Amino acid sequence: MIGQRSNSFYGWFVLAGAMLAFFSSSGTFFFSYGVFLPVIADDLNLSRAAVGAGLTLGLLSFGLPSPLIGASIAKFGPRKNIIFGNSLAALGMLGMSECSELWHLYFFFGVLVGLGAGFGLYLAVTTLVNNWFIARRSFSMGLLFMSAGLAGLIFPPLASWLIDSVGWQSTWLVFGSINLIFAVLIGGLVLIRNAPEDLGQVPYGETVEPISSSQVQKLVIENNEVAPKEWHIKQVIREPALWLIVLIGVTNYYAFGTIIAHQVAYLRDIGFSAIVAALVFSLLSGMSVIGRFGFGVLSLRINLRKLVIASFVMQVSALLLLLMTKNPNLIYLYAVLFGIGSGAIVVSLPTVVGEYFGRTHYPQIMGFMFPIVISA
């Protein structure tokens, strides 16, 4: 196998564009709503439960149409979906700046932002990485998910500062503009291209002399190392490996979602102060970023299966610490172990799907799996 010179490989620019889209869209959609929630509830004289339902509706709009989104990515390519989806999400955020009633919130955030993020976020950006990278797919996927982890650290304090400075409605204007600039204009229009074959290249790891796109396609088909066995979605559904991967995703998302929802309250209930509970939460979030990046780096040297097993062992050990101790030092150790383990498994899911099932039907396969995984 001959290696493609990395300094001529456009995939690194595609990865940068995907990271910008993932960073800005996940930051404005996933990670900031909790900051807005009490402010919107107080300003519009609504219950927090009613406002919180807006995020629930947004997540449903994000995840449930995944089979349709996967088919759209397969037909039109991830680039058009990123541009369309993030434009729709930005439109919803601009609408939130005029929100004055509960139905406005449900429509603009719950429908437009959620559906836009569905088309322009997870499935589309992971498809890009899967299209462009084979030799370093897990490393590139780690970088991609690290950008989303960084969004979780940066956007909540940014949202809090902006709300205090200009108000929550103007903050949605800023967030919509961020999505348009970074996800749509720079990421989607300038940097991102659907696949290396579009530019006469092959996925990372191959060197070829300048040749036509048809010749590149022929090389990709003939070279088993570049084009592993491709699975049709009907074959995939009957494959036991698929359901093992689904089980990995379900258990991880269930554990992570439960921890995020109840960790602070649980720590307060067993005697820790609000400050310590908040510090543990921040530490867990930071360690998740390290886990995402670390998985990508270690996968260059260590078998993926071994890394996934090690990550699960870390998660289980962390949960046992959380349930069995009230020692502050061990609680911080729990946050380190659980953050790293859960961050690594988040990256492993799309990586393993791409490694096992190949590039051609990746968006349809992930579109089939994703509603099952996030329903946990």
Decide if pLDDT at 228 tops 70.
no
Rg (the chain; Cα; Å): 21
Most confident region among 39-53, 169-183, 316-330 by mean pLDDT:
169-183
Most confident of 204-218, 231-245, 263-277, 328-342: 328-342
Distance of CA 217 to the CA centre of its chain: 29
Q: What is the pLDDT of residue 223?
A: 42
User: Given a cut of 90, is residue 140 above it in pLDDT?
Assistant: yes
- 91-128, pLDDT tens digit by residue? 999 999 999 999 999 999 999 999 999 999 999 999 99
pLDDT of 234 higher than 70: yes
Over residues 204-224, mean pLDDT: 49
Contact 363, 129 (CB under 8 A): no
Rounded CA separation 198/79 (Å): 12
Q: How far apart are the first and last CA of the chain?
A: 41
The tokens of 267 are what? 């720590």
Contact (CB, 8 A) for 304 and 141: no
Mean pLDDT of 305-332: 91
Count the residues in the chain.
376
- HEC string for 295-357: HHHHCCCCCHHHHHHHHHHHHHHHHHHHHHCCCHHHHHHHHHHHHHHHHHHHHHHHHHHHHHH
Q: Which two tokens stand for residue 56?
A: 């629930």
Residue 32: predicted pLDDT? 87
Looking at every residue in the chain, the average pLDDT score rounds to 86
Q: Looking at residues 223-248, what average pLDDT do you find?
A: 71
Contact 27, 113 (CB under 8 A): no
User: pTM of the entire structure?
Assistant: 0.82
Of all residues in the chain, the percent with pLDDT exceeding 90 is 52
Residue 217 has pLDDT above 60, yes or no: no
Question: Given a cut of 50, is residue 211 above it in pLDDT?
Answer: no
pLDDT: which is higher, 375 or 87 = 87
So what's the pLDDT on residue 230?
60
DSSP 3-state of 133? strand
**Local structure of 151: helix, strand or coil:** helix
For 155-206, how does the pLDDT look when each residue is reduced to its tens digit (9 = 90+)? 989 999 999 999 999 999 999 999 999 999 999 999 999 999 999 999 986 5
Query: Buried (b) or exposed (e) across 272-285, using 16+ Cβ within 10 A?
Result: beeebbebbbebbb
What does the pLDDT average to over 361-376?
83
Q: Is the pLDDT of residue 222 over 80?
A: no
Mean pLDDT of 295-309: 87
Range 15-40 average pLDDT: 92
- Token pair listed for 304: 């993926």
